[in-house]
A and B are shown apart, each in its own frame.
Chain A
């Protein structure tokens, strides 16, 4: 069964460093998403991506964040200069609009 994969499973970085979180969505899906879950809080929508451009983004998704689909298979989330409050579990999802399939997540720890 096709699945969404994410790498790495855990990333530790120092404040101010850039991180790139990687996702491989399900191959025939057209919509891609990033969500995050800070420990003890709700899962929050960050951004959706369709037709090679951002289709919607939340207030959280400021200029420090960017997404890219560089090669038709990977879907990446970049945080340019990480802050302590970026520590969270980041989930990638893909869909053909109706059902979103999630990856296992990347736990980002900013020290």
Chain B
């Protein structure tokens, strides 16, 4: 069955530190992979996506993610975190003809000043 695992429920980093949020997926075919961010009281905003091609994808707000087929992973990274990055981060895989999204549980990011 298709699934997405985000092993870290909550992460705290200091402002200016680097960040890596982990995501592992289980999907039989070529995955369409996404990272979304949800700030308090806000909707789900797309950070970046991977469909094919270059396995390192760039997104908005200085985020990037790397698709590693051998590890079934799509980890999100940012070299220097800003206080405004504090939010909930969701990894998702698009499946089927309609690309319905299967979601991870999310990782809550807190940023210390």
Contacts and interface: CB of A to CB of B under 8 A. Distances in A.
Contact of A97 (B34, B90, B99, B103): B99
Contact of A104 (B34, B42, B104): B42
Interface residues of A, number: 25
Interface residues of B, number: 24
B49 A99 contact: yes
Interface stretch (A41-49, A62-70, A71-79): A41-49
A100 interface: yes
Contacts, number: 58
Interface string B87-99: 0001010001111
A99 B105 CA distance: 20
A95 B99 contact: yes
Nearest to A5: B43
A101 B51 CA distance: 16
B89 to A, nearest CB: 12
A99 B101 CA distance: 10
